[in-house]
Amino acid sequence: MFFINKLDVSDGQRVLVYRRGRFETLLAPGRHWFWMPGQGLQFESLSLAQSELTHPNLDLLLQKPAFCDAVNIWQVGPEETAVIWRDNQPLAVLVPGSRYVSFKDGPALRIERFALADKAPLPNALLSALLREGLVRVGNQQAVTALSVPEQSQALLFENGELIAELPPGRYGYWAFNRELQARIFDLTWQSLEVSGQEILTKDRVSLRINLSAAYRIADPLQVARQVKKVDEHLYRRLQLVLREVVGTRTLDGLLADKDAVSKAVARMLGPVAQELGVELADVGVKDIILPGEMKAILNQVVEAQKAAEANLIRRREETAATRSLGNTAKMMEASPVLLRLKELESLEKVVERVGHLNVYGGLEQLMTGLVKLTSENKA
């Protein structure tokens, strides 16, 4: 016995009809009638809500005209990629050689293609949208290489080892398919470099430690990138070598007497090397000269002896000056009786200050004239 069965297909779905396991047709929205059973029919419902149509047997279905007429098929070539947009929002990024299938009656989609041979960065609006939607990766494959260059910096972008862009501060994005991108960011501000605790032998075989500081700035990033990988480590090693060479040609006394000479010599020798490297060097200076313990004790003794000798010399100079001053005073008193009498009164004042009880006989005149005299009455 045969029965007629109906099948209602809504506007938001499509139905695949199989007869004995083989695709036969695609049902559009509406009511459909079938003789059942005995016809070997199977039905599979597909929703139009999904933007991308996925199916285990999609390759087989795409060979059927009845199915192909109802879908959009976007194929991406091996040297290009594409972005699928829905309502002005990126929906998917297609890897090279892939395809995207959707129902024509499904959500309104559009495709935007990009040639991978184009070296230009992605538009900022597109990059922001891809970052916002998390589409910089497709599965386990990197789709977009995003790069942020800070202020006062410059980036060099290499593709498969070849320089393709010199980037000022900003945000950039590049397609990462079929290419190996490498970016090097260089800080263009002044940076400090410290060479600390270098044990060096002087010309007179004295072992000491020297701390050196310098400031450097990358003037030509491309020139630096072509020669070294880490410019700070390279400059550090060169400073070490030049410092050893300069200190090794000077004695300890010469180093202690003029540290600036060492700084100037290091700057003079390293300047051309830094310029050839693409680096500007400045403020090279010796910060500290650290002596061994026994050498420090010896130098302290030498300094102590020098200071003692200087103190003795100053003391003798002061004694000589005092004696000369006394002689000049004596000559002045000899030539001036009034000045002599004034000196006598000053001496009397000092004597009286030390006397607890004083008896005066003969009157004040006798006291003033007879008690203190600095010269003899009888002159030869």
Per-residue pLDDT for 121 more than 80? yes
Among 155-159, 280-284, 291-295, 335-339, the minimum mean pLDDT is found in 291-295
- Rounded CA separation 175/144 (Å): 5
Q: What is the DSSP annotation of 73-122?
A: EEE--TTEEEEEEETTEEEEEEPTT-EEEEETTSS-EEEEEEETT--SPP
Specify the pLDDT at position 379.
46
CATH for 191-291 is: 3.30.479.30
Residue owning tokens 């199977």:
42
**Residue 362 confidence (pLDDT) above 70:** no
Q: If DSSP codes are grouped into helix, strand and coil, which group holds residue 206?
A: coil
* Helix (H/G/I), strand (E/B), else coil: 317: helix
Q: Are 187 and 219 in contact (CB under 8 A)?
A: no
Q: Which of 194-198, 268-272, 372-376 has the lowest mean pLDDT?
A: 372-376
Average pLDDT over residues 275-285: 92
List the beta bridge partners of residue 163.
158
Q: Domain locations in the chain?
A: 191-291, 301-352
pTM metric for this prediction: 0.66
What is the DSSP code (8-state) at residue 107?
S
SS3 percent helix, strand, coil of the chain, rounded to 5, is: 35, 35, 30
**What whole-number percentage of the chain has pLDDT above 90?**
42
Q: Please list the residues that pair with 145 across neighbouring strands.
A: 174
Q: Which tens digit of pLDDT belongs to each residue from 143-194?
A: 999 999 999 999 999 998 889 999 999 999 999 998 889 999 999 999 999 9
Q: In this predicted model, what pLDDT tens digit does every residue of 194-240 receive, in sequence order?
A: 988 778 888 888 788 888 999 999 999 999 999 999 999 999 999 99
What pLDDT, in 10s, does the model give residues 303-356?
677 777 888 888 888 888 888 887 887 777 777 777 777 777 777 677 777 766
- 64-69 average pLDDT score: 91
Q: At which residue do the structure tokens 């300094």 appear?
A: 303
Torsion region of 362: left, alpha or beta (phi above 0 gives left; psi -120 to 50 gives alpha)? left
Between 142 and 326, the more confident residue is: 142
Q: What length is written for the chain?
A: 380
Within 13 Å, how many C-alpha atoms sit on residue 240's CB side?
A: 11
Least confident segment among 58-72, 113-127, 317-331: 317-331
What integer pLDDT is reported at residue 380 of this predicted model? 42
Degrees (nearest 5) of the Cα angle 305, 306, 310? 115
For residue 123 the two structure tokens come to 């538009």
